[in-house]
Protein backbone atom coordinates (compact mmCIF):
# COMPACT_ATOMS: atom_id res chain seq x y z
CA UNK A 1 0.00 0.00 0.00
CA UNK A 2 1.26 3.47 -0.89
CA UNK A 3 2.21 5.47 2.17
CA UNK A 4 4.04 8.78 2.18
CA UNK A 5 4.62 8.69 5.93
CA UNK A 6 7.36 6.07 5.88
CA UNK A 7 9.20 7.40 2.82
CA UNK A 8 11.44 10.42 2.27
CA UNK A 9 9.76 13.49 0.85
CA UNK A 10 10.15 13.26 -2.92
CA UNK A 11 8.27 15.02 -5.68
CA UNK A 12 6.15 11.95 -6.32
CA UNK A 13 5.27 11.56 -2.66
CA UNK A 14 4.40 15.24 -2.49
CA UNK A 15 2.08 14.78 -5.44
CA UNK A 16 0.48 11.83 -3.65
CA UNK A 17 -0.07 13.99 -0.56
CA UNK A 18 -1.67 16.76 -2.63
CA UNK A 19 -3.99 14.23 -4.28
CA UNK A 20 -4.84 12.78 -0.87
CA UNK A 21 -5.68 16.23 0.50
CA UNK A 22 -7.80 17.09 -2.56
CA UNK A 23 -9.72 13.83 -2.13
CA UNK A 24 -10.37 14.71 1.52
CA UNK A 25 -11.60 18.16 0.47
CA UNK A 26 -13.95 16.75 -2.18
CA UNK A 27 -15.29 14.08 0.15
CA UNK A 28 -15.82 16.64 2.90
CA UNK A 29 -17.73 18.98 0.59
CA UNK A 30 -20.04 16.16 -0.50
CA UNK A 31 -20.42 14.93 3.08
CA UNK A 32 -21.30 18.44 4.25
CA UNK A 33 -23.93 18.82 1.52
CA UNK A 34 -25.54 15.56 2.49
CA UNK A 35 -25.20 16.31 6.20
CA UNK A 36 -27.39 19.37 5.62
CA UNK A 37 -29.85 17.27 3.61
CA UNK A 38 -29.79 14.57 6.30
CA UNK A 39 -30.40 17.13 9.02
CA UNK A 40 -33.39 18.61 7.23
CA UNK A 41 -34.84 15.18 6.49
CA UNK A 42 -34.28 13.80 10.01
CA UNK A 43 -35.72 16.87 11.70
CA UNK A 44 -38.57 16.83 9.20
CA UNK A 45 -39.43 13.27 10.11
CA UNK A 46 -39.11 13.94 13.82
CA UNK A 47 -41.49 16.87 13.48
CA UNK A 48 -43.89 14.84 11.33
CA UNK A 49 -43.02 16.72 8.14
CA UNK A 50 -41.61 15.42 4.87
CA UNK A 51 -38.53 17.61 4.59
CA UNK A 52 -36.94 18.61 1.26
CA UNK A 53 -38.42 16.47 -1.56
CA UNK A 54 -38.60 18.64 -4.67
CA UNK A 55 -35.11 18.97 -6.22
CA UNK A 56 -34.02 15.61 -7.64
CA UNK A 57 -35.24 12.22 -6.43
CA UNK A 58 -36.24 12.41 -2.72
CA UNK A 59 -34.88 15.96 -2.69
CA UNK A 60 -31.32 14.63 -2.88
CA UNK A 61 -30.10 17.59 -4.92
CA UNK A 62 -31.61 20.21 -2.61
CA UNK A 63 -28.28 21.13 -0.97
CA UNK A 64 -26.51 21.36 -4.33
CA UNK A 65 -29.25 23.70 -5.53
CA UNK A 66 -28.82 25.80 -2.37
CA UNK A 67 -25.08 26.09 -2.94
CA UNK A 68 -25.55 27.23 -6.55
CA UNK A 69 -28.23 29.67 -5.49
CA UNK A 70 -25.85 31.25 -2.97
CA UNK A 71 -23.09 31.37 -5.57
CA UNK A 72 -25.36 33.41 -7.84
CA UNK A 73 -26.40 35.90 -5.14
CA UNK A 74 -24.98 39.39 -4.95
CA UNK A 75 -22.16 39.92 -2.46
CA UNK A 76 -23.28 42.95 -0.45
CA UNK A 77 -20.80 44.76 1.78
CA UNK A 78 -22.57 47.29 4.02
CA UNK A 79 -21.31 50.86 3.63
CA UNK A 80 -20.57 51.15 7.35
CA UNK A 81 -18.68 47.88 7.60
CA UNK A 82 -14.94 47.55 7.95
CA UNK A 83 -14.53 46.41 4.36
CA UNK A 84 -11.32 44.38 4.51
CA UNK A 85 -12.13 42.63 7.79
CA UNK A 86 -15.68 41.98 6.66
CA UNK A 87 -14.38 40.26 3.55
CA UNK A 88 -11.69 38.08 5.12
CA UNK A 89 -13.59 37.06 8.29
CA UNK A 90 -15.44 34.10 6.68
CA UNK A 91 -12.16 32.85 5.24
CA UNK A 92 -10.52 32.98 8.68
CA UNK A 93 -13.48 31.05 10.05
CA UNK A 94 -13.36 28.43 7.30
CA UNK A 95 -9.65 27.62 6.93
CA UNK A 96 -9.16 26.08 10.43
CA UNK A 97 -12.36 24.08 10.06
CA UNK A 98 -10.83 22.30 7.09
CA UNK A 99 -7.31 22.13 8.56
CA UNK A 100 -8.41 20.17 11.62
CA UNK A 101 -9.43 17.33 9.32
CA UNK A 102 -5.77 16.69 8.47
CA UNK A 103 -5.19 14.67 11.66
CA UNK A 104 -8.36 12.52 11.69
CA UNK A 105 -7.61 8.85 10.91
CA UNK A 106 -10.36 7.91 8.46
CA UNK A 107 -9.12 4.48 7.46
CA UNK A 108 -6.65 1.81 8.50
CA UNK A 109 -4.33 3.02 5.74
CA UNK A 110 -2.94 6.35 6.85
CA UNK A 111 -2.80 7.95 3.42
CA UNK A 112 -5.27 10.71 4.24
CA UNK A 113 -3.99 11.43 7.73
CA UNK A 114 -1.08 13.42 9.11
CA UNK A 115 0.14 11.28 12.00
CA UNK A 116 1.12 14.27 14.14
CA UNK A 117 2.39 13.40 17.60
CA UNK A 118 0.43 16.41 18.86
CA UNK A 119 -2.78 15.50 17.01
CA UNK A 120 -5.30 16.26 19.75
CA UNK A 121 -3.59 19.50 20.72
CA UNK A 122 -3.47 20.48 17.04
CA UNK A 123 -7.22 19.99 16.75
CA UNK A 124 -8.04 22.01 19.87
CA UNK A 125 -5.61 24.81 19.00
CA UNK A 126 -6.87 25.22 15.45
CA UNK A 127 -10.54 25.02 16.28
CA UNK A 128 -10.08 28.03 18.59
CA UNK A 129 -8.88 30.13 15.65
CA UNK A 130 -12.35 29.94 14.10
CA UNK A 131 -13.62 31.98 17.06
CA UNK A 132 -11.45 34.84 15.78
CA UNK A 133 -13.20 34.64 12.41
CA UNK A 134 -16.59 34.76 14.10
CA UNK A 135 -15.82 37.71 16.40
CA UNK A 136 -14.15 39.53 13.52
CA UNK A 137 -17.18 39.00 11.29
CA UNK A 138 -19.51 40.24 14.03
CA UNK A 139 -17.38 43.28 14.77
CA UNK A 140 -16.61 44.23 11.17
CA UNK A 141 -20.29 44.18 10.15
CA UNK A 142 -20.82 47.26 12.32
CA UNK A 143 -24.28 45.98 13.17
CA UNK A 144 -25.54 45.70 16.73
CA UNK A 145 -27.01 42.26 16.24
CA UNK A 146 -23.81 41.02 14.65
CA UNK A 147 -21.67 42.47 17.42
CA UNK A 148 -23.71 40.96 20.22
CA UNK A 149 -24.00 37.68 18.32
CA UNK A 150 -20.26 37.53 17.74
CA UNK A 151 -19.43 38.32 21.35
CA UNK A 152 -21.93 35.82 22.68
CA UNK A 153 -20.53 33.25 20.33
CA UNK A 154 -17.02 33.92 21.55
CA UNK A 155 -18.03 33.84 25.23
CA UNK A 156 -19.86 30.57 24.72
CA UNK A 157 -17.18 28.91 22.63
CA UNK A 158 -14.30 29.81 24.93
CA UNK A 159 -16.31 28.72 27.96
CA UNK A 160 -17.11 25.32 26.48
CA UNK A 161 -13.65 24.82 25.06
CA UNK A 162 -12.36 24.22 28.57
CA UNK A 163 -14.65 21.26 29.40
CA UNK A 164 -14.00 19.96 25.87
CA UNK A 165 -10.24 20.01 26.46
CA UNK A 166 -10.60 18.53 29.94
CA UNK A 167 -12.91 15.72 28.79
CA UNK A 168 -10.33 14.54 26.26
CA UNK A 169 -7.62 14.39 28.95
CA UNK A 170 -9.01 11.14 30.36
CA UNK A 171 -8.57 9.47 26.98
CA UNK A 172 -5.01 10.74 26.75
CA UNK A 173 -4.22 9.42 30.24
CA UNK A 174 -5.44 5.96 29.21
CA UNK A 175 -3.70 5.86 25.84
CA UNK A 176 -0.55 7.80 26.75
CA UNK A 177 -0.46 9.56 23.41
CA UNK A 178 -1.76 12.64 21.63
CA UNK A 179 -1.45 10.92 18.26
CA UNK A 180 -4.93 10.01 17.02
CA UNK A 181 -3.63 6.94 15.15
CA UNK A 182 -2.10 5.61 18.36
CA UNK A 183 -5.30 6.35 20.29
CA UNK A 184 -7.30 4.25 17.80
CA UNK A 185 -4.74 1.43 17.98
CA UNK A 186 -4.87 1.48 21.80
CA UNK A 187 -8.63 1.13 21.86
CA UNK A 188 -8.43 -2.10 19.89
CA UNK A 189 -6.19 -3.67 22.54
CA UNK A 190 -7.43 -1.95 25.70
CA UNK A 191 -8.91 -4.36 28.25
CA UNK A 192 -11.99 -2.17 28.72
CA UNK A 193 -12.60 -1.88 25.00
CA UNK A 194 -13.44 1.42 23.35
CA UNK A 195 -12.84 4.42 25.57
CA UNK A 196 -16.55 5.20 25.74
CA UNK A 197 -16.74 2.49 28.44
CA UNK A 198 -13.95 3.54 30.86
CA UNK A 199 -14.45 7.22 29.94
CA UNK A 200 -18.24 7.43 30.00
CA UNK A 201 -18.21 10.63 32.08
CA UNK A 202 -15.65 12.14 29.75
CA UNK A 203 -17.79 11.15 26.76
CA UNK A 204 -20.91 12.81 28.14
CA UNK A 205 -18.99 16.01 28.90
CA UNK A 206 -17.41 15.82 25.45
CA UNK A 207 -20.75 15.54 23.66
CA UNK A 208 -22.34 18.41 25.59
CA UNK A 209 -19.31 20.66 25.12
CA UNK A 210 -19.13 19.68 21.44
CA UNK A 211 -22.75 20.73 20.84
CA UNK A 212 -22.04 24.05 22.53
CA UNK A 213 -18.83 24.53 20.54
CA UNK A 214 -20.82 24.01 17.37
CA UNK A 215 -23.38 26.64 18.43
CA UNK A 216 -26.14 24.12 17.90
CA UNK A 217 -29.47 23.78 19.65
CA UNK A 218 -29.94 23.72 22.67
CA UNK A 219 -26.90 26.04 22.82
CA UNK A 220 -27.55 28.08 19.66
CA UNK A 221 -27.87 31.43 21.45
CA UNK A 222 -25.48 33.28 19.16
CA UNK A 223 -28.02 32.69 16.41
CA UNK A 224 -31.12 33.11 18.52
CA UNK A 225 -33.26 34.48 15.70
CA UNK A 226 -35.95 35.81 17.99
CA UNK A 227 -33.49 38.23 19.62
CA UNK A 228 -30.41 38.52 17.40
CA UNK A 229 -31.74 37.97 13.86
CA UNK A 230 -28.95 35.73 12.53
CA UNK A 231 -26.20 36.52 15.04
CA UNK A 232 -22.74 37.27 13.74
CA UNK A 233 -23.62 36.69 10.07
CA UNK A 234 -26.66 38.97 9.94
CA UNK A 235 -25.01 41.25 7.36
CA UNK A 236 -23.52 38.48 5.23
CA UNK A 237 -24.98 37.51 1.89
CA UNK A 238 -24.19 35.14 -0.94
CA UNK A 239 -21.09 33.05 -0.87
CA UNK A 240 -19.53 34.71 2.17
CA UNK A 241 -22.57 33.62 4.14
CA UNK A 242 -22.15 30.19 2.53
CA UNK A 243 -18.63 29.92 3.91
CA UNK A 244 -19.83 30.59 7.44
CA UNK A 245 -22.45 27.89 7.01
CA UNK A 246 -19.90 25.60 5.39
CA UNK A 247 -17.41 25.98 8.23
CA UNK A 248 -20.19 25.29 10.73
CA UNK A 249 -21.08 22.02 9.04
CA UNK A 250 -17.46 21.04 8.44
CA UNK A 251 -17.08 21.38 12.22
CA UNK A 252 -20.09 19.14 12.74
CA UNK A 253 -18.32 16.51 10.66
CA UNK A 254 -14.96 17.22 12.32
CA UNK A 255 -16.21 16.98 15.87
CA UNK A 256 -18.17 13.83 15.09
CA UNK A 257 -14.99 12.38 13.60
CA UNK A 258 -13.00 13.41 16.65
CA UNK A 259 -15.57 11.88 18.99
CA UNK A 260 -15.58 8.69 16.94
CA UNK A 261 -11.80 8.52 17.01
CA UNK A 262 -11.40 9.26 20.70
CA UNK A 263 -14.31 7.38 22.22
CA UNK A 264 -15.88 5.01 19.69
CA UNK A 265 -12.79 3.18 18.49
CA UNK A 266 -12.27 5.12 15.26
CA UNK A 267 -12.14 2.89 12.20
CA UNK A 268 -11.84 -0.31 14.30
CA UNK A 269 -14.52 -2.92 13.73
CA UNK A 270 -15.02 -6.46 12.47
CA UNK A 271 -15.97 -7.67 8.95
CA UNK A 272 -16.63 -4.35 7.21
CA UNK A 273 -13.82 -2.25 5.68
CA UNK A 274 -12.31 0.33 8.01
CA UNK A 275 -13.59 3.43 6.19
CA UNK A 276 -17.13 2.08 6.33
CA UNK A 277 -16.89 1.57 10.08
CA UNK A 278 -15.62 5.11 10.42
CA UNK A 279 -18.46 6.43 8.24
CA UNK A 280 -21.08 4.47 10.21
CA UNK A 281 -19.88 5.62 13.62
CA UNK A 282 -19.51 9.22 12.49
CA UNK A 283 -23.01 9.18 10.95
CA UNK A 284 -24.39 7.84 14.20
CA UNK A 285 -22.69 10.66 16.09
CA UNK A 286 -24.02 13.25 13.63
CA UNK A 287 -27.50 11.73 13.84
CA UNK A 288 -27.34 12.11 17.61
CA UNK A 289 -26.54 15.83 17.24
CA UNK A 290 -29.62 16.28 15.01
CA UNK A 291 -31.75 14.25 17.36
CA UNK A 292 -30.77 16.55 20.22
CA UNK A 293 -31.60 19.55 18.05
CA UNK A 294 -35.07 18.23 17.28
CA UNK A 295 -35.71 17.38 20.95
CA UNK A 296 -34.42 20.22 23.09
CA UNK A 297 -35.58 23.83 23.41
CA UNK A 298 -32.99 26.61 23.49
CA UNK A 299 -31.67 27.43 26.96
CA UNK A 300 -31.16 30.92 28.39
CA UNK A 301 -27.78 32.62 28.24
CA UNK A 302 -27.28 32.78 32.02
CA UNK A 303 -28.06 29.06 32.27
CA UNK A 304 -25.69 28.40 29.41
CA UNK A 305 -22.71 30.18 30.94
CA UNK A 306 -23.20 28.92 34.45
CA UNK A 307 -23.70 25.37 33.17
CA UNK A 308 -20.24 25.39 31.58
CA UNK A 309 -18.43 26.79 34.61
CA UNK A 310 -20.42 25.36 37.50
CA UNK A 311 -21.29 21.90 36.19
CA UNK A 312 -19.18 20.78 33.25
CA UNK A 313 -15.76 21.99 34.40
CA UNK A 314 -16.03 20.50 37.93
CA UNK A 315 -17.36 17.23 36.45
CA UNK A 316 -14.55 17.11 33.91
CA UNK A 317 -11.94 17.78 36.61
CA UNK A 318 -13.49 15.08 38.75
CA UNK A 319 -13.32 12.70 35.79
CA UNK A 320 -9.58 13.34 35.43
CA UNK A 321 -8.94 12.63 39.10
CA UNK A 322 -11.17 9.55 38.96
CA UNK A 323 -9.37 8.24 35.89
CA UNK A 324 -6.02 8.92 37.54
CA UNK A 325 -6.99 7.17 40.78
CA UNK A 326 -8.61 4.19 39.06
CA UNK A 327 -5.73 3.58 36.69
CA UNK A 328 -3.39 3.58 39.72
CA UNK A 329 -5.51 0.98 41.54
CA UNK A 330 -6.59 -1.27 38.67
CA UNK B 1 9.61 10.73 7.43
CA UNK B 2 7.96 12.58 10.31
CA UNK B 3 8.42 15.99 8.70
CA UNK B 4 6.14 14.91 5.84
CA UNK B 5 3.23 15.07 8.27
CA UNK B 6 3.70 18.79 8.64
CA UNK B 7 3.98 19.18 4.87
CA UNK B 8 0.60 17.43 4.68
CA UNK B 9 -0.80 19.93 7.19
CA UNK B 10 0.56 22.79 5.09
CA UNK B 11 -1.16 21.34 2.01
CA UNK B 12 -4.41 21.39 3.99
CA UNK B 13 -3.75 25.03 4.91
CA UNK B 14 -3.13 25.92 1.26
CA UNK B 15 -6.22 24.05 0.02
CA UNK B 16 -8.39 25.44 2.82
CA UNK B 17 -7.38 28.99 1.89
CA UNK B 18 -7.54 28.38 -1.87
CA UNK B 19 -11.16 27.20 -1.87
CA UNK B 20 -12.75 30.34 -0.34
CA UNK B 21 -10.31 32.78 -1.96
CA UNK B 22 -10.75 31.36 -5.46
CA UNK B 23 -14.51 31.01 -5.23
CA UNK B 24 -14.97 34.47 -3.70
CA UNK B 25 -12.58 36.50 -5.84
CA UNK B 26 -12.25 34.62 -9.15
CA UNK B 27 -15.31 32.44 -9.82
CA UNK B 28 -17.80 34.45 -7.80
CA UNK B 29 -17.63 37.80 -9.65
CA UNK B 30 -18.22 36.00 -12.97
CA UNK B 31 -21.47 34.49 -11.76
CA UNK B 32 -23.06 36.97 -9.41
CA UNK B 33 -24.62 40.34 -10.15
CA UNK B 34 -23.17 43.50 -8.65
CA UNK B 35 -25.64 46.39 -8.50
CA UNK B 36 -24.84 48.25 -5.31
CA UNK B 37 -27.26 50.92 -4.14
CA UNK B 38 -27.38 53.10 -1.05
CA UNK B 39 -30.44 51.41 0.38
CA UNK B 40 -28.94 47.98 -0.10
CA UNK B 41 -25.77 48.95 1.71
CA UNK B 42 -27.40 50.31 4.84
CA UNK B 43 -26.87 48.39 8.04
CA UNK B 44 -29.75 46.07 8.87
CA UNK B 45 -31.66 47.13 11.93
CA UNK B 46 -35.03 45.41 11.68
CA UNK B 47 -36.15 47.64 8.81
CA UNK B 48 -35.62 50.91 10.67
CA UNK B 49 -33.04 53.57 9.96
CA UNK B 50 -29.97 52.50 11.94
CA UNK B 51 -29.37 54.60 15.05
CA UNK B 52 -25.68 55.33 15.57
CA UNK B 53 -23.30 52.49 14.82
CA UNK B 54 -22.21 49.34 16.57
CA UNK B 55 -18.95 50.77 17.87
CA UNK B 56 -20.67 51.11 21.21
CA UNK B 57 -19.66 49.98 24.66
CA UNK B 58 -20.59 46.46 25.58
CA UNK B 59 -20.78 44.56 28.80
CA UNK B 60 -17.60 44.04 30.83
CA UNK B 61 -18.68 40.46 31.61
CA UNK B 62 -17.25 39.29 28.29
CA UNK B 63 -13.78 40.34 29.48
CA UNK B 64 -14.18 38.53 32.79
CA UNK B 65 -14.98 35.31 30.98
CA UNK B 66 -12.08 35.89 28.62
CA UNK B 67 -9.74 36.25 31.62
CA UNK B 68 -11.08 33.08 33.23
CA UNK B 69 -10.68 31.32 29.90
CA UNK B 70 -7.02 32.28 29.66
CA UNK B 71 -6.34 30.90 33.14
CA UNK B 72 -8.09 27.60 32.55
CA UNK B 73 -6.81 27.15 29.02
CA UNK B 74 -3.25 27.48 30.25
CA UNK B 75 -4.15 24.91 32.89
CA UNK B 76 -5.22 22.49 30.16
CA UNK B 77 -1.99 23.10 28.28
CA UNK B 78 -0.12 22.13 31.48
CA UNK B 79 -2.27 19.04 31.95
CA UNK B 80 -1.68 17.63 28.47
CA UNK B 81 2.00 16.63 28.83
CA UNK B 82 1.21 15.29 32.28
CA UNK B 83 -1.60 13.12 30.88
CA UNK B 84 0.64 11.76 28.11
CA UNK B 85 3.27 10.69 30.65
CA UNK B 86 0.78 9.64 33.32
CA UNK B 87 1.41 5.89 33.02
CA UNK B 88 5.11 6.34 33.73
CA UNK B 89 4.71 8.86 36.56
CA UNK B 90 2.59 6.64 38.81
CA UNK B 91 1.46 7.75 42.29
CA UNK B 92 3.92 10.64 42.39
CA UNK B 93 2.41 12.18 39.27
CA UNK B 94 -1.09 11.70 40.62
CA UNK B 95 -0.40 13.51 43.90
CA UNK B 96 1.38 16.30 42.11
CA UNK B 97 -1.51 16.88 39.75
CA UNK B 98 -3.97 16.61 42.63
CA UNK B 99 -2.26 19.63 44.20
CA UNK B 100 -2.23 21.51 40.89
CA UNK B 101 -5.93 20.87 40.23
CA UNK B 102 -6.77 21.74 43.84
CA UNK B 103 -5.15 25.17 43.44
CA UNK B 104 -7.22 25.80 40.33
CA UNK B 105 -10.40 24.58 41.95
CA UNK B 106 -9.76 27.13 44.71
CA UNK B 107 -9.49 29.77 41.98
CA UNK B 108 -12.74 28.60 40.42
CA UNK B 109 -14.47 28.55 43.80
CA UNK B 110 -13.26 32.11 44.44
CA UNK B 111 -14.62 33.29 41.10
CA UNK B 112 -17.86 31.45 41.87
CA UNK B 113 -18.17 33.13 45.27
CA UNK B 114 -17.39 36.55 43.86
CA UNK B 115 -20.32 35.97 41.47
CA UNK B 116 -18.14 36.28 38.37
CA UNK B 117 -19.86 33.22 36.96
CA UNK B 118 -23.33 34.76 37.23
CA UNK B 119 -24.71 36.16 34.00
CA UNK B 120 -27.23 38.86 34.84
- Residue spans of the domains in chain A: they are 72-329
Looking at beta carbons, which residues of chain A come within 8 Å of B86?
Answer: 173, 176, 324, 327
Distance from CA of B77 to the nearest CA of A (A): 9
Looking at beta carbons, which residues of chain B come within 8 Å of A79?
Answer: 38, 41-43
Cα B32 from chain centroid?
Answer: 32
Looking at beta carbons, which residues of chain B come within 8 Å of A9?
Answer: 1, 3-4, 7
Q: What are A23-27's contacts with CB under 8 Å, separation 24+?
A: A23/A112, A24/A101, A24/A102, A24/A106, A24/A112, A24/B12, A25/A98, A25/B15, A25/B19
- From A71, A72, A169, residue closest to B83, measured CB to CB: A169
Q: Least CA distance to A4: which residue of chain B?
A: B4
pLDDT of the residue at A1 = 45
- pLDDT digits over B65-89, tens only? 888 888 888 888 888 888 888 888 8
- From A91, A302, A321, residue closest to B20, measured CB to CB: A91
Q: CB-based contact (8 Å) between A225 and chain B?
A: no
Distance from CA of B1 to the nearest CA of A (A): 5
R_g over Cα of chain B = 25
Average pLDDT over residues B44-55: 74
Q: What is the ipTM of this complex?
A: 0.86
How wide is the angle at C-alpha A305 spanned by C-alphas A304 and A308, nearest 5°? 90
Distance from CA of A98 to the nearest CA of B (A): 6
- pLDDT in tens for each of the 330 residues of chain A? 456 666 777 777 788 888 888 888 899 999 998 999 999 999 899 988 888 888 888 888 888 888 888 888 888 888 888 888 888 888 998 999 999 988 888 887 777 777 788 888 899 888 888 888 888 888 888 888 888 888 888 888 888 989 999 999 988 988 888 888 888 888 888 778 788 888 899 999 999 999 988 888 787 776 666 667 777 788 888 888 888 888 889 999 999 999 999 888 888 878 888 888 888 999 999 999 999 988 888 888 888 888 888 899 999 989 988 988 888 887
Q: What are B34-40's contacts with CB under 8 Å, separation 24+?
A: B34/A74, B34/A75, B35/A74, B36/A76, B38/A79, B40/A76
Cβ separation of A75 and B34 shorter than 8 Å? yes
Looking at beta carbons, which residues of chain A come within 8 Å of B32?
Answer: 71-75, 238-239
- Could you tell me if A103 and A174 are in contact, meaning their C-beta atoms sit under 8 angstroms apart? no
pLDDT of the residue at A204 = 92
pLDDT of the residue at A222 = 66
Cβ separation of B32 and A71 shorter than 8 Å? yes
pLDDT of the residue at A304 = 84
8-state DSSP, B51: P
Looking at beta carbons, which residues of chain B come within 8 Å of A177?
Answer: 84
pLDDT of the residue at A205 = 92
8-state DSSP, A116: -
Q: Considering the entire predicted model, what is its pTM? A: 0.90
Amino acid sequence: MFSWQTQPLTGLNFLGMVIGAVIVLMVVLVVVMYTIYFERKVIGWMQNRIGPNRVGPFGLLQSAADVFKLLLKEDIVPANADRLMFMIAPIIAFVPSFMVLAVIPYTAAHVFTAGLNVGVLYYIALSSISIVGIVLGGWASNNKYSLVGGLRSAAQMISYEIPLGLSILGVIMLSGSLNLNTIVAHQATDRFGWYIIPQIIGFVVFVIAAIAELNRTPFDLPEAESELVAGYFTEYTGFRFAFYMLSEYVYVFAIASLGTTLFLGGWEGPFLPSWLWFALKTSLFIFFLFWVRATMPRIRIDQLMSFAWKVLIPVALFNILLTGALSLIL
Amino acid sequence: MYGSNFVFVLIFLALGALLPISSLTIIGPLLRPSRPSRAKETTYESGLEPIGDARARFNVRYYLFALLFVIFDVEIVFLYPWAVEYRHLGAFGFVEMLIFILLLVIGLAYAWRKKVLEWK
